[in-house]
Amino acid sequence: MTELNLIAGEWMAGDTAIENRNPSDLTDVIGLFAQASADQLSATLDRARNAQLEWAAYGLERKQAVLMSIGTELMSRAEELGRLLSREEGKPFAEGKGEVYRAGQFFTYYAAECLRQIGENADSVREGVEIDVRREPVGVVAVISPWNFPTATAAWKIAPALCYGNAVVWKPANLTPASAVALTEIIARQDIPKGLFSLVMGSGGAIGQRLVESPQVDAISFTGSVPVGKGIAAAAIQNLTKVQMEMGSKNALAVMDDADLDLAVSLALGGAFGGTGQKCTASSRLVVHAAIHDAFVEKLVAGAKALKVGHALEEGTQMGPVVSEQQLQENLAYVELGQSEGAELACGGQRLELQHDGYYMSPGVFVNTNNTMRINREEMFAPLTSVIKVNSYDEALAIVNDTNFGLTSGIVTQNLARATHFRRHARTGVVTVNLPTAGTDYHVPFGGRGESSYGPREQGKAAAEFYTTVKTAYISAGTPI
Between residues 334 and 422, which has the closer beta carbon with respect to ligand NDP? 334
Q: Which of 14, 104, 248, 349 touches ligand NDP (CB under 6 A)?
A: 248
CA distances from 250 to 81, 171, 191, 335 (A): 30, 26, 42, 16
Burial of 417 (0-12, 13-18, 19+ CB in 10 A): exposed
Strand partners, 130: 123, 475
Under rule CB under 6 A, residue 147 binds ligand NDP: yes
Of residues 433 through 472, those in contact with ligand NDP by CB under 6 A are none
Beta carbon of residue 147, minimum distance to ligand NDP (angstroms, whole number): 6
Between residues 287 and 323, which has the closer beta carbon with respect to ligand NDP? 323
Beta carbon of residue 353, minimum distance to ligand NDP (angstroms, whole number): 23
Q: Which residues are catalytic?
A: 246, 280
Of residues 394 through 413, those in contact with ligand NDP by CB under 6 A are none
Under rule CB under 6 A, residue 173 binds ligand NDP: yes
Under rule CB under 6 A, residue 160 binds ligand NDP: no
Strand bridging mode 364-369 / 344-347: antiparallel
Beta carbon of residue 325, minimum distance to ligand NDP (angstroms, whole number): 13
Asked if 326 and 25 count as a contact pair (C-beta separation under 8 A), the reply is: no
Beta carbon of residue 282, minimum distance to ligand NDP (angstroms, whole number): 9
Beta carbon of residue 210, minimum distance to ligand NDP (angstroms, whole number): 8
Phi, psi of 309 (to 5 degrees): -90, 135
3-class SS of residue 148: coil
Of residues 360 through 379, those in contact with ligand NDP by CB under 6 A are 379
Under rule CB under 6 A, residue 280 binds ligand NDP: yes
Under rule CB under 6 A, residue 224 binds ligand NDP: yes
Under rule CB under 6 A, residue 331 binds ligand NDP: no
Residue 125, number of CB atoms within 10 A of its CB: 7
- Provide the residue type at 414 as one letter: Q
Using the rule CB under 6 A, give the single segment among 226-234, 283-291, 312-320, 473-481 that binds ligand NDP.
Answer: 226-234
Q: Which of 36, 199, 212, 309 touches ligand NDP (CB under 6 A)?
A: 212
Instruction: Tell which residue, 382, 286, 440, 345, has the closest CA to residue 90.
Output: 382
**Residues touching ligand NDP: how many (CB under 6 A)?**
27
Under rule CB under 6 A, residue 245 binds ligand NDP: no
Using the rule CB under 6 A, give the single segment among 25-33, 155-163, 169-177, 185-193 that binds ligand NDP.
Answer: 169-177
How large is the C-alpha radius of gyration of the chain?
23
Under rule CB under 6 A, residue 228 binds ligand NDP: yes
The site for ligand NDP (CB under 6 A) is made up of 144-148, 171, 173-175, 203-205, 208-209, 212, 223-225, 228, 231-232, 246-248, 280, 379, 381
